């Protein structure tokens, strides 16, 4: 299924402004680009585009409330400047399984002051000597890299994996 069609199905007769989470995993993007997601999704906090064939994030719209972006298992190798320009409140970014080879391609993430968690599993960049040290130096705002902090302590579920979308009152009621 193509991405535009999947977006309209996921809306389920809601307006884009009502949507807080949008999961489009395993659909197909035309020409490796993001399609069907516009600035109308102004309350979106979680966007998941896992294994959709992306080669570029250039078409991601400005989404001020987006906190968690899942982009694992695509073919992205750079062009992250647009994330810093359009996703100013991003706290969690998963780029695992993409084509990042050099630390320098991650430099634009310095401009994401809220970024706390970055995942780069299965990217070539993780094979570089002093990879973790270099990333924490480049991105001092990070708390977790690949699920572990600078002291190699594992993230708790609430710290490293939470997307901030869950309603705490619902959890207490269960």
pLDDT at 129 over 50: yes
Strand partners, 52: none
Given a contact cutoff of 8 angstroms between Cβ atoms, the answer to whether 87 and 69 are in contact is: yes
Domains of the chain listed by start with CATH number: 3-173 (3.80.10.10)
pTM of this prediction exceeds 0.85: yes
Greatest C-alpha distance within the chain: 50
The more confidently predicted of residues 7 and 167 is 7
Q: What is the number of other CB atoms lying within 10 angstroms of the CB of residue 143?
A: 16
* Residue 45 CB-half CA count within 13 A: 8
pLDDT of 150 higher than 50 = yes
Indicate the pLDDT class of residue 158, thresholds 50, 70 and 90. low
pLDDT top residue among 33 and 169:
33
Q: Which helix (H) or strand (E) holds 83?
A: helix 81-86
**Within a 13 Å sphere around the CA of 30, how many CA atoms are in the beta-carbon half?**
7
What is the tens place of the pLDDT at every residue in 13-36? Answer: 999 999 999 999 999 998 999 999
pLDDT tens-place string over residues 35-92: 999 999 999 999 999 999 999 999 999 999 999 999 999 999 999 999 999 999 999 9
Classify residue 65 by burial, with Cβ atoms within 10 Å: 0-12, 13-18, 19+. middle
**Mean residue pLDDT across the chain:** 91
Residue reference for tokens 């902090």: 149
The angle at the Cα of 10, spanning 5 to 11, to the nearest 5 degrees, equals: 100
More confident residue, 10 or 157: 10
State the Cα–Cα distance between residues 79 and 85, nearest whole angstrom: 11
Share of the chain above pLDDT 70, in %: 90
Q: What is the dihedral of CA 123, 38, 139, 124, to 10 degrees?
A: 10
Q: Can you give the pLDDT at residue 166?
A: 41
């Amino acid at each position: 299924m193509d991405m535009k069609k999947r977006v309209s199905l996921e809306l389920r007769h809601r307006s884009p402004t009502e949507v807080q989470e949008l999961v489009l995993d395993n659909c197909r993007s035309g020409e490796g680009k993001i399609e069907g997601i516009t600035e109308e999704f102004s309350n979106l906090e979680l966007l998941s585009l896992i294994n959709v064939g992306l080669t570029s994030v250039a078409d991601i719209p400005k989404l001020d409330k987006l906190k968690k972006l899942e982009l694992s298992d695509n073919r992205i190798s750079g062009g992250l400047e647009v994330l810093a320009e359009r996703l100013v409140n991003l706290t969690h970014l998963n780029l695992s399984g993409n084509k990042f080879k050099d630390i320098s391609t991650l430099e634009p993430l310095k401009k994401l002051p809220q970024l706390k968690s970055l995942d780069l599993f299965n990217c070539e960049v993780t094979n570089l000597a002093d990879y973790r040290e270099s990333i924490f130096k480049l991105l001092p705002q990070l708390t977790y890299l690949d699920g572990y902090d600078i002291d190699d302590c594992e993230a708790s579920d609430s710290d490293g994996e939470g997307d901030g979308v869950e309603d705490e009152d619902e959890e207490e009621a269960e």
